[in-house]
Chain A
């Protein structure tokens, strides 16, 4: 089913690809920035870093739009850039020295409470993702949160479509067991 936001995205993509000017880029940015922030948040990235990574992705889109070949899906290309950005961020975080700046206790307490409330509002998605392996998690986020089709996911991850489908099926089967247990518990 096509929604108003799908239509807005389609127009923004078509506009920018036909004329990659700053004005057209602004429309594209407005259409995709939120989605990118959400994608990074779903990969357990802090809000402020998610925004920074989303900005890096859009910056690269502006710079490298000429690399988007005919017939290539914009969504597949966009999320491929986003995934590379995420992997790069993860590599950097793993190698950088962890430092803990001084913080007043009250601020930290408020932050903990805030994140607790947010986690509750987030629902079970994050918890369910812990039952999946890295690739399954990535596929489910792209498929069910970002609404990418199988060929687009295949392009993002560089995995054949058949393998993607197989993994989605396995992930659903795994999830069926988790959801089943949850339903049984709530009865």
Chain B
């Protein structure tokens, strides 16, 4: 016997996605063909069993609120690391050129360490409100001098201010 139902009809019929004409054709064939009726019953049972087994499996592997919270915190920490500047190039803008920033980093690094020098520059740049403006370099230097004074002492801060002002 020829069976006019293909896999697309079977799936659509199981999912309830077929249009009225195809639904009627499949239903009519199943009513008259015992072989397809048996296939239909098996597929129906398998689909229901699969849905229920998938739900059961998912319930066992559910995560609790604490796990979601700690996972979220870890990812946010990674995002913040990503977004914090990692090079002088990412801080440089307008009058705050890479060359100028690098020279100041070299001034502070022997006393405070390269990492601290970098962080001071990033922090000072962050406190400079208009990096593109003409007064930006002066504001940046004031901020950097203040921060250097707090971390590395007054002498170092004075040195930063003087060198910073003499830079071309």
Task: Enumerate chain A interface residues (CB-CB to B < 8 A).
Answer: 22, 25-26, 29-30, 33-34, 37-38, 41-42, 51, 54-55, 58-59, 62-63, 118, 121-126, 128, 140-141, 144-145, 162, 165-166, 168-170, 172-173, 175-177, 179-180, 183
Contacts and interface: CB of A to CB of B under 8 A. Distances in A.
A24 to B, nearest CB: 12
B67 A51 contact: yes
B50 A165 contact: no
A141 B60 CA distance: 15
Interface in B1-19: 7-8, 10-11, 14
B78 to A, nearest CB: 5
A97 to B, nearest CB: 26
B61 A55 contact: no
A37 B71 CA distance: 11
A50 to B, nearest CB: 8
Contact of A172 (B8, B50, B57, B78): B50
Contacts of A51: 63, 67, 71
Contact of A125 (B45, B56, B67, B79): B56
Contacts of A63: 82
19 contacts: A22-B79, A29-B72, A33-B68, A33-B71, A33-B72, A37-B63, A37-B67, A38-B61, A51-B71, A55-B78, A58-B75, A59-B75, A122-B60, A123-B56, A123-B60, A128-B50, A144-B50, A168-B11, A179-B49
B74 interface: yes
A125 B57 contact: yes
Contact of B53 (A34, A123, A173, A183): A123
Nearest to A28: B72
A43 to B, nearest CB: 11
Given A26-B72, A62-B75, A125-B56, 12 more contacts: A26-B76, A37-B63, A51-B71, A54-B71, A58-B71, A122-B57, A125-B57, A140-B50, A145-B54, A172-B43, A173-B43, A180-B42
Given A145-B57, A165-B11, A55 B82 contact: no
B51 interface: yes
A179 B41 CA distance: 12
Contact of A128 (B8, B53, B68): B53
Contacts of B11: 165, 168-169
Nearest to B49: A179
Interface in B62-106: 62-63, 67-68, 71-72, 74-76, 78-79, 82
Given A29-B72, A33-B63, A33-B71, A176 B42 contact: yes
